[in-house]
Structure 1
Amino acid sequence: MTPELTYLAYSIILLFVIVFIQASAGIRQHGGLTLANNRDNLPAANTFVARAKRNVDNMRENLWFFAPGILIAAVIGLSNQWTILGAQVFFFARLAHSVTYLAGWPIIRPLFWFAGIVACALIYLALFGILV
């Protein structure tokens, strides 16, 4: 497995972890039986549960930028310093983004989000032969 695919796998594992955190927080707030039902009349989520949901949503949205680039690189057999760097920066930026999001730390969180976007740009610039 290429380093890029490894970091894609790590990113999916990170998604599993933050989904588990979101689910656990929801169970703590509402109770497991309530969440096992249809959830039609759930009370508003507390701050942490809402933040955890936004964190998961944000990770899913960003995976739509990252995963196709990594998969295209794998299909065409492209693996170079730029695609590897992009994959590494994406994973660690998303990890830091999740930690800062869940902790509620302002200002720095968007910088980690931006680092993840730059990482995706590196991958696509390498795919188009601009970075070689």
Structure 2
Amino acid sequence: MEISALPAELSVVIWLALFAASLWIPYIVGVNMHPQQGVDDFARPPPLVGFPEWVHRAHRAHLNLLEQLVPFAVLVLVVDRLDGFSALTQWTAIIFLCLRVAHAIGMISGLARFPLRPILFTGGWLCCLVMGYAAYTA
């Protein structure tokens, strides 16, 4: 199967997986820019309290993406297995990708403050619900 022949939903899952596989980079950059005295990073990760806020937010952005990527990807794979892709699932996947990128950028930069950041996260959860609905109606 050519990559161009992939359904949009599976392409989105691939991009999200690559994004999640790369989102550790801002955190590691921040940790290395602000080394902690007396902490052996290889024995145990340093506590986040000693770092600038953006480093903590980068760590949380990575975890938040993983929290939603796993259920979303499973639901997309179930819908694929049931041959249930539709315009609804295509747009849901695209919206989910946009929400997750906006959430990560907004969280790490600190621009997505209350109520925007929880709205972005909740939007991702709603996309999971829509994909679950698509699985049950396929």
Segments of structure 2 that go 5 or more residues without pairing to the other structure are: 1-5
- The range that moved more, 20-29 or 85-94, is 20-29
Q: Please say if residues 90 and 115 of structure 1, whose CA atoms lie closer than 8 Å, have aligned partners that are also in contact.
A: yes
Following TM superposition, by how much is the alpha carbon of 1:6 offset from its aligned partner in structure 2, in angstroms? 0.3
2:89 match: 83
| TM alignment of 1:90-109, pairs within 5 A | 90-105=96-111, 106-107=113-114, 108-109=116-117
C-alpha distance in structure 2 between counterparts of 1:90 and 1:40, whole Å: 31
Aligned length: 128
Q: Please say if residues 85 and 119 of structure 1, whose CA atoms lie closer than 8 Å, have aligned partners that are also in contact.
A: no
Following TM superposition, by how much is the alpha carbon of 1:25 offset from its aligned partner in structure 2, in angstroms? 1.4
1:120 pairs with 2:128: yes
Which letter maps to 1:26?
V
Percent of paired sites with the same residue: 20
TM-score, normalised relative to structure 2: 0.82
1:14 pairs with 2:22: no
Following TM superposition, by how much is the alpha carbon of 1:39 offset from its aligned partner in structure 2, in angstroms? 2.9
- Where is the helix percentage greater, Structure 1 or Structure 2? 1
| Change beyond 3 A, Cα 1:54–1:119 | same
| Change beyond 3 A, Cα 1:49–1:115 | same
Aligned structure 1 segments of 4 or more residues deviating by more than 6 angstroms? none
Segments of structure 1 that go 5 or more residues without pairing to the other structure are: none
| Change beyond 3 A, Cα 1:40–1:91 | closer
C-alpha distance in structure 2 between counterparts of 1:78 and 1:23, whole Å: 39
Q: Please say if residues 69 and 120 of structure 1, whose CA atoms lie closer than 8 Å, have aligned partners that are also in contact.
A: yes
TM-score, normalised relative to structure 1: 0.85
1:52 match: 58
Which letter maps to 1:15?
A
Which letter maps to 2:24?
V
SS in 2 for 1:68: helix
SS in 1 for 2:50: coil
2:35 match: 30
Following TM superposition, by how much is the alpha carbon of 1:78 offset from its aligned partner in structure 2, in angstroms? 1.8
| Change beyond 3 A, Cα 1:40–1:110 | closer
Root-mean-square deviation (Å): 2.1
